[in-house]
Amino acid sequence: MIELKNVSFAYGDEQVLNNISFKVADSESAIILGPSGSGKSTILRLLLGLLDPQEGEVLIDNQIINKMKEKHRRVLRKQIGMVFQDGALFDSMTVGENVGYYLIEHTDMKWDEISMKVEQMLGFVGLRASEVADKLPESLSGGQKRRVAIGRALLSTDPKIMLYDEPTTGLDPSMTENVLELITKLQSEKSISSIVVTHQIADALVIADRFIVVWEGEIAFDGDMDALRESRDLRVLQFLAPFRLALSEVGKLKFIGRKET
């Protein structure tokens, strides 16, 4: 349902993506891995139709989003929930207002009803409304903020697909595990497929069906874990080198997802 077809993108003179292509099918979970600056966040912006490629096509549900008017893009975007790198909550709004933002701004729903939905959503992402709903985001921990951002994305759209940009960056190991668990729960309970962008491979190992490695604006690898382990592509080897141990230990890692592969 999501596809990049021969996409090239530059910010001004800076070429960032060179003729890249990949597809993510319905209810598939893909991880986009790659070093900092390799173009991962740019790929997500292209998928949301926030940027347009100079060449190639970006397809959502077989429709070419980069040739659409903004009005039509907005319709497609409703199927996509996005969690930005820093959580990106509104600082001056309470946690409850952040989560209910879309319903408050874009629907006629009464506050009672919104507040019930917000409470349910906070519960779903593992937070207690009575404890956090009236607080400002600044008083939450990093992991709690990330959960609130996921809750907001879920209540803003009715997403068939979730995009996460570095969802665990800056979190301690137990918070990281919590957030990964939530991502996996969404995949299984709500059948929401996901694209998770990360430079932390340990995360990727726990949640993905499929790995796409971006290296200097090109797709260096696209395949499953076994193929990733066996890849002899120099770019892949270079990227994985620091993680060799994690990779060999992967069978022993706790799998929190639906897959026991």
Ligand X SMILES: Nc1ncnc2c1ncn2[C@@H]1O[C@H](COP(=O)(O)OP(=O)(O)O)[C@@H](O)[C@H]1O
Asked whether position 169 contacts Mg ion by CB under 5 A, the answer is no
Q: According to CB under 5 A, which one of 8, 15, 19, 41 is a site residue for Mg ion? A: 41
> Which residue, 97 or 222, is less far from ligand X as judged by CB?
222
Residue range at the interface with ligand X (CB under 6 A); choices 40-48, 91-99, 219-227, 242-250: 40-48
CA atoms of 231 and 249, how far apart (whole Å)? 17
**Which entry of Mg ion, ligand X, none binds 94, CB below 5 to 8 A by partner kind?**
none
Q: How far is the CB of 79 from ligand X (least distance, A)?
A: 22
**Which entry of ligand X, Mg ion, none binds 226, CB below 5 to 8 A by partner kind?**
none
* Joined tokens for residue 147: 């959960």
Q: How far is the CB of 217 from ligand X (least distance, A)?
A: 8
Each residue 7-26 as x (binds ligand X by CB under 6 A) or -, in order, gives: ----x--x-x----------
Cβ atoms of 119 and 200 within 8 Å: the answer is no
Asked whether position 41 contacts ligand X by CB under 6 A, the answer is yes
Q: According to CB under 6 A, which one of 34, 53, 151, 167 is a site residue for ligand X? A: 34
Residue range at the interface with ligand X (CB under 6 A); choices 37-45, 147-155, 230-238, 251-259: 37-45
Radius of gyration of the chain (CA): 18
**Which entry of Mg ion, ligand X, none binds 16, CB below 5 to 8 A by partner kind?**
ligand X
Q: How far is the CB of 258 from ligand X (least distance, A)?
A: 28
> Which residue, 11 or 70, is less far from ligand X as judged by CB?
11
CA end-to-end span of the chain: 24
**Which entry of ligand X, Mg ion, none binds 36, CB below 5 to 8 A by partner kind?**
ligand X
Binding site for ligand X (CB under 6 A): 11, 14, 16, 34, 36-42
Binding site for Mg ion (CB under 5 A): 41
